Structure 1
């Protein structure tokens, strides 16, 4: 289906040696255990590499079709599903979530219950939070709210717990990364009368031939082993892990990818391959023959209704529907073009799509947190632009 969109390069261009070096150094210096890195330019994959180990202790090498727990790489896929429902008239961005979830009415500290819209959930402006972004004694932790990576309860119970915590700010007046997509997943199910996994399959993964991506792993033999940052090298994650991050830690439960023990998290619950996600990114290109959404919807997705004051990935970055949006490249100190979309996943992933230079990069690793927020994603980004400098507009 995608032969014309994803012609795989027969030979790696010599100019990508700088990217090979960046990957090799990250592995040799013990920053990551393994990775799959894909680079596309003008709709064609011009670099592809599987490096390091899928399982270091078993000596299992990384392979290009390795399956990763995607964490927040889930969010763009679910956001596209929501917007498909909007195009079909099944949801409206400005309607209140209580239309679909009448019991979900979190309150302000003064006891008032402001309206939360679908738009606010999509853009993380609803006043919600994530437990891993709070201190260890933060309100979400005290309430037992799941961030989606360790879900061992029903979605209904998690919504009840979320609604029981006071809003951090009035909806629409701030930005804070949050469990909003999990709330949105429940609203999607109610609006369409279908389960989240089936909705995403029907609206996104099947149309884009993303055969290895879903809320349950289809081939456990290709699932990579997760690692966490360690010294002098990453440490294999236990079945239930607490990985230090920001003010607190992120709780991972590895069997969520292979069992039905918890709810399917719309913000963090999918697994899939690098090639599948590249298919998704390339469907956003202006002239893609496999466009999933109409031109007006994609244009809206590439805007930043949450301005750069939010600094969602540092100075110069705002936020849109499912990802951060580059508003000011100079302020951000990046070679990426204005309007670049970018995000990652805490299991160790990063990705971006630069529509100005028509570059898409997917870098999935099995090392948290380095693969998402360490030196590795920056080294990959810079190497890609150095490799392509002679073919990019000046």
Structure 2
């Protein structure tokens, strides 16, 4: 029996729940047996009830440390959820405005457009990744962000958040703000904006605006429990190998890019700048709680209208690579065309992932929220890995 049939499926029969669990278990067990994934925590909520929860495999294979429900992970781009929600909370409080220029808070942030002119970048441009900024990992090794010494937020870099944003501003934009879309360090710039709007370090601001209202304690820019942190592994064409202190991981789906510069030791570096786009550490359970708050309407974090703004496609008519069939809202992708996306999710579903091996999605039409954290990049990442796609299809039957 399929989990989903029609707009609002019933999910009460015990047999149906067992069918769901069996399908998800099979995906996880196969990925572990084939050594594509080292460990995973998978949570599925349906209409507000957690209907599946499993921790499997190893948090540290070499130490024989099992994965547990409260294992912590380097979040990579999952961090963007927390920073984006924090920014939207400030919009609700009147301390930020979506269509106000960033220079209201960062007067020196004035990167030039390709024609040499300076146009206003707004808070909305940052949240929707329409600011004209870039990521170093999307460039060749000698690209302008690398030449400017810009950090993508996952490597060891002797730089403050303020200095990294200053360096970003020295590089010309890819396009005039609002004219196109490009996944970028916009959320890191947003992090400094949050600091200026609140007068707090970004870690304190996110904790106050997002974590404390929900009573969450596992997620932040430092490690809540060092012994709970999963080790990172990387797909190397066979069995995932333990990541070295510094890895440059190629991205086969992005032609010409150098790849991701990632450092496991960054999580332990007290001087690492707080990257709103990639630098947080946390648990699958915390993310589920935040996503469920948004799916239910936003309280106690945001108003319903603010959530509606976040899940509204800001990029109509634009093709987003590597997310075919999806547009971008204020912080994450929004599904436009399930056929083009090759996905069973309903139109309007939100989804993102993280390079350390994570994926998540919310399908409001079907009352579904799913979090899947692994410690195997890029196999567990959405986009890029098989595991998230297999898991999604198992959930929908």
| Distance (whole Å) between structure 2 residues aligned to residue 45 and residue 140 of structure 1 | 42
Instruction: Give the C-alpha shift of residue 287 in structure 1.
Output: 5.9
| Residue equivalent to 2:245 | 239
Does 1:254 pair with 2:259?
no
| Residue equivalent to 2:291 | 281
| Distance (whole Å) between structure 2 residues aligned to residue 285 and residue 323 of structure 1 | 14
Does 1:141 pair with 2:151?
no
| Distance (whole Å) between structure 2 residues aligned to residue 224 and residue 152 of structure 1 | 24
| Residue equivalent to 1:100 | 105
What does 1:339-358 correspond to in 2, within 5 Å?
Answer: 339-358=348-367
Q: Is the 8 A contact 1:93 1:117 kept in 2?
A: yes
Alignment TM-score, normalising by the size of structure 2: 0.91
Instruction: Give the C-alpha shift of residue 86 in structure 1.
Output: 0.5
| Distance (whole Å) between structure 2 residues aligned to residue 13 and residue 357 of structure 1 | 15
| Distance (whole Å) between structure 1 residues aligned to residue 208 and residue 62 of structure 2 | 38
| Distance (whole Å) between structure 1 residues aligned to residue 376 and residue 317 of structure 2 | 29
Deviations 1:348-390 (A, max 9, x none): 100000000011110000011111021100000000111xxxx
Q: Is the 8 A contact 2:297 2:304 kept in 1?
A: no
Does 1:181 pair with 2:187?
yes
Does 1:311 pair with 2:313?
no
| Distance (whole Å) between structure 2 residues aligned to residue 105 and residue 282 of structure 1 | 37
| Residue equivalent to 2:346 | 337
| Residue equivalent to 1:47 | 52
Instruction: Give the C-alpha shift of residue 306 in structure 1.
Output: 1.3
Q: Is the 8 A contact 1:210 1:277 kept in 2?
A: no
Does 1:374 pair with 2:380?
no
Deviations 1:123-166 (A, max 9, x none): 00000000101122211122221001114311122112111111
The runs of at least 4 aligned residues of structure 1 exceeding 3 Å deviation read: 10-13
Moved more, 73-82 or 153-162: 153-162
Q: 2:259 is paired with a residue of what secondary structure? A: strand
| Distance (whole Å) between structure 1 residues aligned to residue 316 and residue 141 of structure 2 | 29
| Residue equivalent to 1:6 | none
Q: 2:365 is paired with a residue of what secondary structure? A: coil
Q: Is the 8 A contact 2:76 2:278 kept in 1?
A: yes
Instruction: Give the C-alpha shift of residue 258 in structure 1.
Output: 2.3
Instruction: Give the C-alpha shift of residue 259 in structure 1.
Output: 2.4
Would the alpha carbon gap of residues 101 and 39 (structure 1) be closer, same or farther in structure 2, given more than 3 Å must change? same
Instruction: Give the C-alpha shift of residue 307 in structure 1.
Output: 2.2
Would the alpha carbon gap of residues 111 and 365 (structure 1) be closer, same or farther in structure 2, given more than 3 Å must change? same
Q: Is the 8 A contact 1:312 1:324 kept in 2?
A: no
Moved more, 151-160 or 342-351: 151-160
Q: Which of 126, 130, 138 lines up with 2:135 in the alignment?
A: 130
| Residue equivalent to 1:194 | 200
| Distance (whole Å) between structure 2 residues aligned to residue 324 and residue 52 of structure 1 | 29
| Distance (whole Å) between structure 2 residues aligned to residue 305 and residue 69 of structure 1 | 28
Instruction: Give the C-alpha shift of residue 109 in structure 1.
Output: 3.4
Number of corresponding residues: 376
What does 1:67-86 correspond to in 2, within 5 Å?
Answer: 67-86=72-91
| Distance (whole Å) between structure 2 residues aligned to residue 261 and residue 158 of structure 1 | 13
Instruction: Give the C-alpha shift of residue 76 in structure 1.
Output: 1.1
Q: Is the 8 A contact 1:316 1:326 kept in 2?
A: yes
Does 1:63 pair with 2:63?
no
Q: Which of 157, 165, 170 lines up with 1:159 in the alignment?
A: 165
Instruction: Give the C-alpha shift of residue 105 in structure 1.
Output: 0.8
Q: 2:388 is paired with a residue of what secondary structure? A: helix
In structure 2, the gaps of 5 or more residues are: 1-13
| Residue equivalent to 1:321 | 330
Q: 2:366 is paired with a residue of what secondary structure? A: coil
Deviations 1:27-70 (A, max 9, x none): 11121111100011011110111111100111111111000000
Q: 2:250 is paired with a residue of what secondary structure? A: strand
Instruction: Give the C-alpha shift of residue 312 in structure 1.
Output: 4.7
| Distance (whole Å) between structure 1 residues aligned to residue 322 and residue 86 of structure 2 | 24
Q: Is the 8 A contact 1:69 1:347 kept in 2?
A: yes
